[in-house]
Chains A and B, each alone.
Chain A
């Protein structure tokens, strides 16, 4: 006998259990098939259904049944092919006949663990609420007591330093005939310092990003440096770089990242003797805000030929980096020795700094670095940072918001008088709601010397579809509908690297104007207002108290 569950579909999920419901309009659809062809998840499929219609003609009801077959577009209830809400179907539909709609009642997370495999995805923390950074306002406006500057007329210098900065009383200077000269007899180490734009593009690897996306970003920052005179830099992420770029003069605009998998570093080390310029800096990744405690993860879907070559690995295998640098067993091993080793590789000419995930233990790391004269900075990546692939639980529930983590680290440095010696780089959710300039400026005023962005630039420069309602967020499986996080040529050829580069330039030029519009009324123009905490207020007394800033309502 047929089990009842087969007859009434009780074994299936309902469409209401899914986060996005595809609204398809029979009357508008011309059955061209574009939507079903383009759907990265195969969530919608063409189907043939039998249509039964009952009609009656004449004054007396005389129902007649007729049957016909019809083609429809149907959403699957197979959870492995769930609709991510990316909306690519809408993009390609010529007749506005299809659109995914967010379903706030979904029960997706209850079911997305089939086979005992927890839900893994890319993207960001699925919390659409504004973060702390968006609850800060710039309230110290100069007017009558202190004329405001003019963002359009006055000269502004929006720059910062990356590298360990010597305290003034340790500078190797001497006075000769009323003039300061560098004391050449001093044998003290003078750490390298780079002057850069204070908003940098954070670590996203070739591998996590498609070749076209990465190339677009790289071209964009090169243009900003060479044509616009804006020293914007970008971090490679883990996984190396093409040898041609390593050996080019453009490498000075890039920060090379070494992480626990050491992917790509065979090629980098081999390229060192052939480098014509030093890289901007070396970032040692110990943690990532989006998934603290997890190492990097490039899933097999994305390990195609180019990536395999750059990383020196076979094609089509998962590339998980360990959660920690496993050859190192303690902080002195994993931080001090690594920093020294990397410094030594470039003759101590390149700043080397660690990146950690936001954590209540950040201050402990900070204080270790303070005592290490080779540590060039500390990058802290808050919980709202993005990732190419991680467990959902790590993304949603692990990590520390950047605002208070950065603030307590900065105030710790102030207490020690070292606030200008070890630059703090803040990341994780900068521009989460699109307010890149405001979030960046707020972080500077809380104590950051620079900020890193990732998701923001993907969204602004390449139209990334992801959001905090778990829209899209499939960076991990190589099916990015925009061609941003895929290694599939059929997908990444959708993305024109020239367009990405152009957008990167537009984004940074607009950002520069917005930063001036913030700094000018606050009377700051010559130096970045790092630690100018009297400039900002929070709309929540508890936030204000925690950040040691004022409360405004």
Chain B
């Protein structure tokens, strides 16, 4: 599962991640746009979540029941063997980490097994990535722009990716629980 968010991300993620039970097995990879010397998101969410939360490390295997955050100033990619790669390639849409980079590589690695979720944000990073998720047969979900703190990112994703489903944060949480149960 891959999640991308920018402005308003902490509040939105705080509505979703703490709801996931200890037994939740699907690994979750998250890109949030933060400044290069930005805040310690894994630390922040570790105290709120029942799942293991960590900063993604280069070449580590992606394990069930774990939430991985992209480190500030690095792109986060999934390799075909489902391990993590980091990169310092140029920012994409002024963003590093970039949601597109995570989603496109994760779509390659996971294909139809991937769920990609775009939450609140003020730029259009993530729209191309969500298209890649849908084209690989995965599930594309977008936070309803009407309730998002910043609308540009979810609106951009919905415009670019017509297959995507628009949902409230509570409905996204319910979907994540349902996907795990199925």
Tell me, yes or no, whether A binds B.
no
List the interface of chain B (C-beta within 8 A of A).
none
List the interface of chain A (C-beta within 8 A of B).
none
